[in-house]
Structure 1
Amino acid sequence: MKFVIEFYRTRERDDAHAVVGRETVDAVDLDTAIGMARSLAQSLDMPQRPDALAIVDENGRTLHSCAFDAALGQEKRPSP
């Protein structure tokens, strides 16, 4: 299955998003795509370090999104 992984920066004052990287990957399932996204977040050469990512399917439906903790580089779940 094809997934599109978008890495982006967000602006806190108005929650604007700027895409700093985008990759299309083939993965057997969403869990595999999430693992690939984590790896790509560390290895891709992007103009800025992303602070969040989203994974969308072939139809543009968002399947997963998360923000990165700036200090640790770890994922954190969006607040409800």
Structure 2
Amino acid sequence: MKIVIEFYRIREADDAHAVVGRETAETADLEDAIRLARQLSRTLDMPQRPDVMSITDREGHRLYSGAFDAANNTG
């Protein structure tokens, strides 16, 4: 399935979200997409480390969203 993974930073003062990374990929299923997103959160060159991620399908329907552990950046 074709997916879009977006990585965000969140400003605690007003809950503002800023996209710091976006990748499009082809994965077998949602588990594979989540695994890929976690890997990319550690390896993708982004201006800042993301706080949260979301995975959408090609129509823009949200399939998954989750926060990363601040200590080791794993979702």
| TM-score of the aligned structures, taking structure 1 as reference length | 0.88
User: RMSD value over aligned CA atoms?
Assistant: 0.9
Partner residue, 1:57? 57
Partner residue, 2:72? 72
**Separation of aligned partners in 1, 2:74 and 2:7:** 14
2:41·2:73 contact (CA, 8 Å) conserved in 1? no
**Structure 1 residue 72: Cα displacement:** 2.6
Q: What letter corresponds to residue 6 of structure 1 in structure 2? A: E
Give the 3-state SS of the residue equivalent to 1:25 in structure 2: strand
Alignment of 1:8-23 (within 5 A): 8-23=8-23
| TM-score of the aligned structures, taking structure 2 as reference length | 0.93
**Separation of aligned partners in 2, 1:69 and 1:13:** 19
Gaps of 5+ in 2: none
Q: What letter corresponds to residue 29 of structure 1 in structure 2? A: D
Identity %: 61
Q: What letter corresponds to residue 56 of structure 1 in structure 2? A: T
Partner residue, 1:38? 38
Q: What letter corresponds to residue 62 of structure 1 in structure 2? A: R
Partner residue, 1:6? 6
Q: What letter corresponds to residue 36 of structure 1 in structure 2? A: L
Q: Deviations over 1:21-74 (max 9, x none)?
A: 000000011111011101111100001111110000111111100111212322
